[in-house]
């Protein structure tokens, strides 16, 4: 077994002392190879200040299944195409059902970059740090405190990009956009202030906010204006604010599943991205609009994100689907995963939902339970999956026009190496994960 493969495995499946040592060793090797956890904030603010054209859209990739192999495939395609503008992210909910802690996630992504001889600023992002609503406009009891604890944990692990998602608190029953967005911008400002207090010296963490809940009402410039006006008043003027804003354009996480398990066509309003990006840049000098829930869209849609000035696009379920539906993926293992879903998550099956719809929607929740079996698939099988994933990544990099962006990243992003010791990599107690969160 290759030494990096062995370290990555120990970082995930070893005993606590082995995990700690493996994560520390991977971090040290990463620093020597110029693989430095970094913030993409300066690149995004350069877009907001007209120092960069709106001619590329940064892919933010959620690594769920077969994390090490999938990340290797992404770096393989990135190295071949000289891609530097690429984010690896994991949502709060994903940390739970994929059984990936922040420390483990950073170690696995770094190890994959080492294995593929890729180097450069490494953008690790906390996606959808979201508060579940307890009542209209109010977070469920304990949610904000949980998110605060998670923010502290991920920053210590090397996440220097964090997406706050308080869009669940937007109260659409209120008559005006300003009133609707009050809880969103108030809590977003409080959490941004915490991030600024915790970020390492010399690093300005890239913070994103969200004005439209994915799967809900489409976003408008009026929503953006209401949010930003309130947010700027709530955040102390001496502190750096957000670098981007996530919006709703008509997509949903994972796509909309038909009775036979296939995905329905959806109507995406790309003009929302262009209009909100323009307002972000001209009024607030921030990077622009972010699209969620895009990985299952038809292939011809992806170049539209660039044409309509999207700053960033989040991609998740499509890669999971590629793995689980691949001809090389063991059918018996997939059946075991579905049996597990039937037994452990049957209470989540919706009325009139077919088995195909239920399995498609819930199979992500089997990834943590079968993580080790997925990791230990035969190398021949894993290589077939990596090759297919690498081809997919290469396609998306070209469509999103991030090919040849390594030099661009080097120009605008100056990595800061934080001082770490072995003790910094001691496994942490699990952070509470709440069901029903976006990912």
pLDDT of residue 264: 47
pLDDT in tens, the chain (439 residues): 799 999 999 999 999 999 999 999 999 999 999 999 999 999 999 999 999 999 999 999 999 999 999 999 999 999 999 999 999 999 999 999 999 999 999 999 999 999 999 999 999 999 989 998 888 889 999 999 999 999 999 999 999 999 999 999 999 889 999 999 999 999 999 999 999 999 999 999 999 999 976 556 899 999 999 999 999 999 999 999 999 999 998 765 444 444 554 444 566 899 999 999 999 999 999 999 999 888 888 899 999 999 999 999 999 999 999 999 999 999 999 999 999 999 999 999 998 889 999 999 999 999 999 999 999 999 999 999 999 999 999 999 999 999 999 999 999 999 999 999 999 999 887 766 655 566 6
DSSP output for 31-48: HHTTEEE---HHHHHHHH
CA angle (194, 170, 214) in 5-degree steps: 95
Torsion of CA 404, 159, 432, 93, to 10 degrees: -10
State the Cα–Cα distance between residues 396 and 185, nearest whole angstrom: 33
pLDDT of residue 343: 96
Structure tokens at 52: 């960069």
Structure tokens at 273: 């991205």
Whole-Å CA distances, 414 to 40, 42, 86, 122, 417:
10, 9, 15, 11, 10
State the Cα–Cα distance between residues 343 and 367, nearest whole angstrom: 15
pTM exceeds cut of 0.75: yes
Q: Residue 66: exposed, middle, or buried by beta-carbon count in 10 A (0-12, 13-18, 19+)?
A: buried
State the Cα–Cα distance between residues 291 and 214, nearest whole angstrom: 9
- β-partners of residue 313 are 59, 291
Helix (H, G, I), strand (E, B) or coil at 214: coil
pLDDT of residue 436: 56
State the Cα–Cα distance between residues 287 and 277, nearest whole angstrom: 7
Q: Residue 109: exposed, middle, or buried by beta-carbon count in 10 A (0-12, 13-18, 19+)?
A: buried
- Beta strand pairing status for 138-139 and 133-135? antiparallel
pLDDT of residue 287: 98
Q: Enumerate residues 6+ apart whose C-beta is below 8 A from 106.
A: 23, 27, 37, 124, 157, 158, 159
What is the CATH class of 35-425?
Answer: alpha beta
């Amino acid at each position: 077994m290759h030494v990096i493969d062995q370290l990555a495995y120990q970082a995930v499946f070893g005993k606590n002392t082995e995990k700690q040592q493996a994560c520390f060793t991977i971090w040290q090797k990463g620093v020597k190879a110029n693989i430095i956890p970094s913030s993409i904030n300066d690149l995004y603010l350069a877009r907001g200040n007209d120092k960069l054209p709106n001619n590329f859209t940064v892919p933010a990739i959620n690594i769920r299944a077969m994390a090490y192999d999938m990340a290797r495939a992404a770096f393989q395609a990135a190295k071949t195409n000289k891609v530097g503008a690429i984010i690896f992210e994991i949502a709060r909910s994903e940390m739970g059902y994929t059984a990936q802690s922040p420390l483990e996630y950073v170690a696995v992504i770094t190890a994959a970059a080492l294995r593929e001889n890729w180097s450069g600023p490494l953008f690790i992002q906390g996606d959808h740090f979201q508060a579940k609503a307890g009542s209209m406009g109010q977070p469920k009891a304990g949610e904000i405190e949980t998110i605060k604890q998670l923010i502290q944990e991920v920053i210590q692990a090397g996440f220097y990009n964090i997406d706050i998602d308080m869009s669940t608190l937007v109260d659409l029953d209120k008559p005006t956009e300003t009133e609707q967005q009050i809880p969103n911008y108030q809590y977003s400002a409080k959490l941004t202030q915490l991030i600024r207090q915790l970020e390492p010296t010399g690093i300005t963490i890239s913070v994103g906010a969200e004005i439209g809940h994915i799967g809900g009402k489409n976003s408008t410039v009026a929503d953006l204006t209401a949010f930003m006006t309130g947010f700027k008043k709530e955040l102390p003027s001496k502190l750096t604010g957000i670098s981007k804003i996530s919006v709703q354009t008509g997509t949903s996480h994972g796509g909309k599943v038909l009775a036979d398990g296939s995905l329905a066509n959806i109507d995406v309003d790309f003009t929302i991205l262009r209009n909100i990006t323009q307002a972000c840049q001209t009024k607030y000098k921030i990077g622009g609009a972010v699209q969620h829930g895009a990985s299952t869209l038809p292939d011809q849609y992806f170049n539209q994100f660039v044409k309509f000035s999207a700053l960033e696009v989040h991609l998740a379920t499509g890669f999971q689907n590629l793995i689980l539906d691949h001809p090389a993926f063991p059918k018996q293992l997939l059946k075991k995963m579905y049996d597990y879903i039937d037994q452990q998550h049957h209470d989540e099956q919706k009325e009139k939902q077919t088995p195909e719809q239920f399995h498609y929607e819930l199979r992500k929740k089997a990834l943590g339970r079968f993580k080790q079996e997925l990791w230990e698939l035969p190398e021949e099988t894993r290589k077939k999956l990596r090759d297919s994933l690498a081809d997919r990544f290469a396609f998306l990099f070209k469509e999103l026009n991030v090919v040849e962006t390594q030099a661009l990243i080097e120009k605008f992003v100056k990595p800061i190496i934080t001082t770490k010791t072995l003790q910094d990599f001691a496994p942490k107690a699990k952070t509470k994960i709440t069901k029903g969160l976006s990912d």
